[in-house]
Structure 1
């Protein structure tokens, strides 16, 4: 019996009963039998299995390796694993199975997780990090500008000496990350957020490339939704979410990628801050993250984008590896999605402002690419009709739904980003900040 073609049940502004179930399917080859079918880590605690009539968003693995996502509806009375597998085999038809990645000795790694009053979600992140198959790593939690002792209590009482806790009183994600960099003992420093669940192979896949490429400065990985239960979560994932696809890519400043005339300034295509790792030496050499960027500052974001471009500008390569997987808990409410849309726009222009302020040598290249950059910004923030509903997983198609009010918010954020960055810089005047290199961040900025 063929699988039922997927038709979105409703436009993203309407409730879908039960939302979309998120699952993992592992096949023994593109047309092979099912090895396993289970709920994704973020939904496993719900206890409800996939049933007939459910809409399903599934990660497809081939012998454990992530290769695709599919979305389908399970026909009533049909085995869910069989229905999802049929859809997956159709999508993978003709694809040759790829060999598993080989790697040398894995580098000693520090995993930094910044959290601000996030103890209610931090435990599941730490549990997943402690289950990693990487042989040599430490976990550093940065308690950022805490109001309560909840994060400290959680780490000390539940995790003891398995997790290192440091405190950063200055609010801001970039400042918190710099505090983690300052104390990290690994030759590679990985970062993730307190609202993710890391695949057990995440850290190995994310850090293995550093063993083989001495010019590698940064790696990023695949981010998939842990749950799709509300219209806001479904719309965000339909808009592209955080996923960058299943094809590994290497970005090399000596050989700019063909077909990307704005390289390296379209840093959003490289990855996201919830799933990234840096050579510790390279990150410290560029002065770490700009403390006037990121969540928790008036700039609202852009800290990861600034670091990506700075590492590339220093001559290092950046690698995207989809085998490094984390499951991200998207925000559930419409207000959160509206804030996120505004923050996307603000973070984009804030990071560009940070580049010009701290790396003025990039100004000529940015000015040459400015006309195309403005056209690109208009395209990625454009309103797209949502009347036909939305389909999570169709990333990179540029035909995803995006309501007009979110488009307006994103563009308003772009106008506000430079001013937010300046306000953040002014707020940090005279504030002691963590040093991440032989000199402090303030010195790296030119003795602010």
Structure 2
């Protein structure tokens, strides 16, 4: 499967359609003459759509991609090439002080790329916290100390697990809003502003999520993942309010995967601490394999707070490259889904009646996702998309096996972290002892 070049197209820039290859900041030249291009289309600077097209050798890529983009948007009745379907949001005069937490383990090269993009944010008031999770070497500490100094706060968390690392970040953070992303992303310069501005205007907002697009589509594994769903949740702003459940979503709020993903999320700090943070028995690095973000989303909503998805908050994610990574990911998705549902049952038993009523439909919905992948249809249509490269059935079987294993994985992980205090409570207890 040939590489698909990733690009950005500003369809109505000051000099007409402008195409550059690679996610900003930086970008780069096309890697070859012609070939397939996956492009983010922007209207007046805002993410509007993605398109895939083949650029013939010798043709101007900007002209070909722009023509494809205009044809695509012209057939989308929610768009108008003169006016956006949504007015541009007004940035509040004062944005909340925000802490960005990045959990990492032994990936210093990728982490440096992510930190460079995060330090380039246009948000006026933020700090950057790196949580080094169960490190085997000093590589992450050396990177932060030698390259970034006081611009990045470093904290070590010896207990393995993504949720545990995020909880350590919550304890360290001093922001009114705490944003989380991964060490394998490149953040758009406007990401943090777009992700956090609604916290300034909506006191009932507990969580915000944003758009995740692929930074590279070089390997078969990367193209398959993006072709059959990826991490993107669309280009329409959505707000989820537990007081007004969305029509046509009878499983709400337990279809947490539709709300966003852990590589691009932010929480009001008081709300996040109020719900107990992330369940340490979930997430990458535990037998549960995932589900930490899903558990947090549902906890925020069931506590009565709103959740908002905005595509203006964009990060570019470096999907795992190897086939082995993809198989592990498929199994982990299934395990994380049922692990998070188990966590909800165990930690929030008052939700048991509602969850049991919706559980059969929820499991059917999860199975339908894998069936949809097998049938085709995803984020990268066309020459190298779902139609030509259907989702392998054995990956769907792995995902279903993961769903069966998730509850047991959660139980194993819960035994391992039993008695582990919430780190911000631990800090408060130390402060009280010092005061005495």
TM over 0.5: yes
Give me the whole-angstrom Cα distance separating, in 2, the residues matched to 1:33 and 1:86.
16
Alignment partner of 2:103 out of 110, 114, 132: 114
* Deviation of 1:163 (Å): 0.3
8 Å CA contact retained: 1:284, 1:437: no
Counterpart in the other structure of 2:433: none
8 Å CA contact retained: 1:26, 1:63: yes
Give me the whole-angstrom Cα distance separating, in 2, the residues matched to 1:383 and 1:280.
37
Counterpart in the other structure of 1:26: 10
Counterpart in the other structure of 1:40: 22
- 1:82–1:50: structure 2 CA closer, same or farther, 3 Å change rule? farther
Alignment partner of 2:183 out of 194, 198, 219: 194
- 1:385–1:313: structure 2 CA closer, same or farther, 3 Å change rule? closer
Give me the whole-angstrom Cα distance separating, in 2, the residues matched to 1:76 and 1:184.
51
- 1:188–1:238: structure 2 CA closer, same or farther, 3 Å change rule? same
Of 426-435 and 241-250, more deviation after overlay is shown by 426-435
| Deviations 1:46-85, CA, capped at 9 Å, x for gaps | x542654310000000121100000000122211001000
Give me the whole-angstrom Cα distance separating, in 2, the residues matched to 1:261 and 1:348.
18
Give me the whole-angstrom Cα distance separating, in 2, the residues matched to 1:267 and 1:284.
20
- 1:182–1:415: structure 2 CA closer, same or farther, 3 Å change rule? same
* Deviation of 1:374 (Å): 2.2
Give me the whole-angstrom Cα distance separating, in 1, the residues matched to 2:326 and 2:364.
24
Give me the whole-angstrom Cα distance separating, in 1, the residues matched to 2:379 and 2:418.
46
| Deviations 1:275-321, CA, capped at 9 Å, x for gaps | 00000010000010000000000000000000000000000000000
SS at match of 2:329: helix
State the TM-score, normalizing by the size of structure 1. Answer: 0.89
Counterpart in the other structure of 2:153: 164
Per residue, is there more helix in 1 or in 2?
2
Q: How does 1:220-369 map to 2 (within 5 A)?
A: 220-369=209-358
Q: How does 1:146-157 map to 2 (within 5 A)?
A: 146-157=135-146
8 Å CA contact retained: 1:383, 1:404: no
- 1:371–1:325: structure 2 CA closer, same or farther, 3 Å change rule? same
1:54 equivalent in alignment to 2:38: no
* Deviation of 1:433 (Å): 4.9
* Deviation of 1:135 (Å): 0.1
1:219 equivalent in alignment to 2:237: no
Of 74-83 and 132-141, more deviation after overlay is shown by 74-83
Give me the whole-angstrom Cα distance separating, in 2, the residues matched to 1:121 and 1:438.
31
Q: How many residue pairs get matched? A: 418
Q: How does 1:169-184 map to 2 (within 5 A)?
A: 169-184=158-173
8 Å CA contact retained: 2:228, 2:373: no
* Deviation of 1:177 (Å): 0.3
Of 293-302 and 74-83, more deviation after overlay is shown by 74-83
| Deviations 1:8-33, CA, capped at 9 Å, x for gaps | xxxxxxx32xx00000000218xx96
Give me the whole-angstrom Cα distance separating, in 1, the residues matched to 2:163 and 2:177.
18
- 1:261–1:33: structure 2 CA closer, same or farther, 3 Å change rule? farther
- 1:134–1:166: structure 2 CA closer, same or farther, 3 Å change rule? same
* Deviation of 1:259 (Å): 1.0
* Deviation of 1:434 (Å): 1.7
8 Å CA contact retained: 1:289, 1:304: yes
| Deviations 1:311-341, CA, capped at 9 Å, x for gaps | 0000000000000000000000000000000
| Deviations 1:105-160, CA, capped at 9 Å, x for gaps | 21000000000111120001000000000000000000000000000000000000
Counterpart in the other structure of 1:410: 399
* Deviation of 1:100 (Å): 1.8
- 1:23–1:291: structure 2 CA closer, same or farther, 3 Å change rule? same
* Deviation of 1:375 (Å): 1.5
* Deviation of 1:371 (Å): 2.2
Q: How does 1:381-400 map to 2 (within 5 A)?
A: 381-382=370-371, 384-385=373-374, 392=380
- 1:374–1:178: structure 2 CA closer, same or farther, 3 Å change rule? same
SS at match of 1:61: strand
Counterpart in the other structure of 2:89: 101
Give me the whole-angstrom Cα distance separating, in 1, the residues matched to 2:203 and 2:421.
33
Give me the whole-angstrom Cα distance separating, in 2, the residues matched to 1:420 and 1:414.
10
Counterpart in the other structure of 2:54: 73
8 Å CA contact retained: 2:117, 2:187: yes
Counterpart in the other structure of 1:443: none
Give me the whole-angstrom Cα distance separating, in 2, the residues matched to 1:437 and 1:247.
40
State the TM-score, normalizing by the size of structure 2. Answer: 0.91
8 Å CA contact retained: 1:287, 1:437: no
Of 76-85 and 224-233, more deviation after overlay is shown by 76-85
Give me the whole-angstrom Cα distance separating, in 2, the residues matched to 1:156 and 1:417.
38
